[in-house]
Amino acid sequence: MIDGLMDKIKNLQKMAGVDQEGMMKQVLDLQNDANLLGDLNNLQMEDMTPKPEKIPVKFLNKTKHPDPQYQHKDDSGFDFRANIPGDTLTLKPMGRLAVPTGLYFELPEHYELQVRPRSGLAYKHGITVLNTPGTVDRGYRGEIKVILINLGQEDFIIQDGDRIAQGVINGILSQYWSDFIRVNEISNTERSDNGFGSTGDYYLVVISAKDYWRFGFYWVRINKKITQQVSRL
C-alpha cells in the first residue's frame, strides 16, 4: 500500500498545472488510501497494545458489608471495614486494638496482601496501622485483623462497617529469587554499620529574624553536639 501511495504522489507531481480534472481524481484517491492506511495502522496499534491481565484473588466475606472493591480505576488499594456487628470499639489515646474485618483471602502465587493506613484517619484523628504495612503471606488463611493505634489526643470510636484501613495486593520476588548463603564475613562499604539517622547529616534550616525583610537560609551540619555553619545561600 505504501508503494501505491508513492506512485500516486509522483503522478500528481507530473499532472500539476496540466490535467486539473485528473489531478483532483488522484487527490481524492490518495486521500481515501491515506484514510484506509491510518485505520489499518490504528487497528494494528490496538492489537499490539498489551492488555494487563487481572489477578484472580479469592476471598471469603463473612460480613454484611460490601465485598472488597476499588473505588476508582487507578486506585492502588481497597477498603477494609470493621466487622463488629451490634457493637462499637473505643480506641484510647496511645491505645491499640486488633480490629476484625470478617475477610479471608487466598492469594495467588507470588503475591502478598499489604495492610496500610487510610490517610484521612491518620490526618484527622491520628489513627494509623501500627505495623504498617502489615504483611499477609500467601499461606495465611485466617481472618484479616487490622492493628490500629490511636496517636491522637481523644478517644476514637470505631463502629461496625467503618473503613479502617486499605489493602494492597503486591507482587513479591524475594522467596523465589533470594538464595541465602551463610558466610564467615561480608564486604564493607563506605556507610559501614552507620544505622538509624546516619544519612541525616545535612539539613536546610529556615531562620526568621524580626529585623530582616526575608528569611535567611543556612546549610548546617550536625556533628554530635557541634553545630557548624557551612555556607549561607
- Give the highest mean pLDDT range of 23-32, 46-55, 163-172: 163-172
**Residue 174 banded pLDDT, cuts 50, 70, 90:** confident
Range 58-177 has CATH code 2.70.40.10: yes
List all residues 6 or more positions away from 113 whose beta carbon is below 8 Å from its beta carbon.
105, 107, 135, 136, 144, 167, 168, 169, 170
The three-state secondary structure class of 68 is: coil
Confidence (pLDDT) at 206: 46
Of all helices (H) and strands (E), which one includes residue 202?
strand 202-207
| Separation CA 27–CA 31 (nearest Å) | 6
CA-derived radius of gyration, the chain: 32
Across-strand partners of 163?
81
Assigned C-alpha cell, 22: 485528473
The pLDDT, as a whole number, for residue 98 is 97
The confidence score (pLDDT) of residue 40 equals 55
CA dist., res. 77 & res. 108, Å (int): 17
Of these ranges, 46-60, 99-113, 171-185, the one predicted with the greatest mean pLDDT is: 99-113
More confident residue, 145 or 16: 145
Instruction: Name, in order, each residue with C-beta under 8 angstroms of 46's C-beta and a sequence gap of 6 or more.
Output: none
Strands 111-116 and 163-171: antiparallel
* H-helix segments, the chain: 2-15, 20-48, 119-125, 174-177
Q: What pLDDT is recorded for position 37?
A: 57
pLDDT, averaged across the chain: 77
Flag whether pLDDT at 19 surpasses 80.
Answer: no
| Statement: residue 227 has pLDDT above 50 | no
Pairing between β-strand 163-171 and β-strand 202-207 as defined by DSSP bridges? unpaired
**pLDDT value at residue 114:** 97
Lowest mean pLDDT among 29-33, 131-135, 154-158, 211-215: 211-215
pLDDT at residue 134, rounded to an integer: 94
Residue 161: DSSP 8-state: T
How many angstroms separate the Cα of 123 from the Cα of each of 89, 120, 130, 152, 232? Answer: 20, 5, 15, 10, 35
C-alpha cell at 209: 529574624
Q: What is the pLDDT of residue 126?
A: 97
What are the boundaries of each domain within the chain?
2-48, 58-177, 202-232
Cα–Cα separations (whole angstroms), residue 174 to 12, 54, 112: 64, 22, 11
Please tell me the predicted confidence (pLDDT) of residue 180.
82
Quick check: 224 pLDDT over 50? no
Q: What is the pLDDT of residue 194?
A: 79
Residue 14 scores a pLDDT above 70:
no
Q: Using 50, 70 and 90 to split pLDDT, how confident is the model at 151?
A: very high
Please state the rounded mean pLDDT for residues 51-76.
91
Secondary structure (DSSP) of 76-119: S-EEEE---TT-EEEE-TT-EEEEEEEEEEEPPTTEEEEEE--H
CA–CA dist 76, 170 (Å, integer): 10
Band of the pLDDT at 218, cuts 50, 70, 90? very low
The confidence score (pLDDT) of residue 173 equals: 78
Assess contact for 152 and 127: CB atoms under 8 A. yes
